[in-house]
A and B are shown apart, each in its own frame.
Chain A
Amino acid sequence: MIDDISILLFGFLAIAGTVMAAFSREKFEKLISVGIIAAGIMPFIIAGGYTDVAIAVSLIAPITTIFILMVCRSDADDYS
């Protein structure tokens, strides 16, 4: 079961990822910070009992990052 200290630790992880994503300048640092956000919210989804939602989120969130990489590369090719 999840207790108060673990809630604080994983919540800090999610907030740290958000702050780093907001205040970074380069694009790869932002992508890595979005990965940290997804990692931080996963224990809360499991602790609520929604294990099937957790499987879906853990497969969808990294594929979304791969889609973002595809979009960025095609934008750069259009400009060059």
Chain B
Amino acid sequence: MIELWICGLVAVYAAIRIAFIKNNLLKLPFLNVIGFAVAGSLVLILKDPLSLAAAAAFFIGTTLESNAIASRIAGGKKE
């Protein structure tokens, strides 16, 4: 049970730090930290093989989204 609290606290800390950073590109590592914490807590809430698939799908989805935002901020191509 304490592991779930640790994941929740880490996510809240990263969300608070996102609000106070000015550079848009440096917000993305904190978004990745939120993705890690929520992916870990999905498996801790429900111990099921399907929730493992949900955690993997959620993490890959967040990584794809961060990749798209980062390449667009850098002036990249349409993806």
Contact = CB atoms under 8 A, between A and B. Distances in A.
Interface of A: 1-3, 5-6, 9-10, 12-13, 16-17, 20, 26, 28-29, 31-32, 35-36, 39-40, 42-43, 46-47, 49, 51-52, 54-55, 58-59, 61-63, 65-66, 69-70, 73
Given A20-B19, A43-B41, A73-B78, A5 B58 contact: no
17 contacts: A3-B1, A9-B8, A10-B41, A12-B12, A16-B16, A20-B19, A28-B72, A29-B27, A32-B28, A46-B42, A54-B54, A59-B57, A62-B68, A63-B64, A65-B68, A65-B69, A66-B79
Contacts, number: 126
Interface of B: 1, 4-5, 8-9, 11-12, 15-16, 18-19, 24, 27-28, 31, 34-35, 38, 41-42, 45-46, 48, 50-51, 53-54, 57-58, 61-62, 64-66, 68-69, 72-73, 78-79
Contact of A43 (B18, B38, B62, B66): B38
Contact of B8 (A5, A52, A63): A5
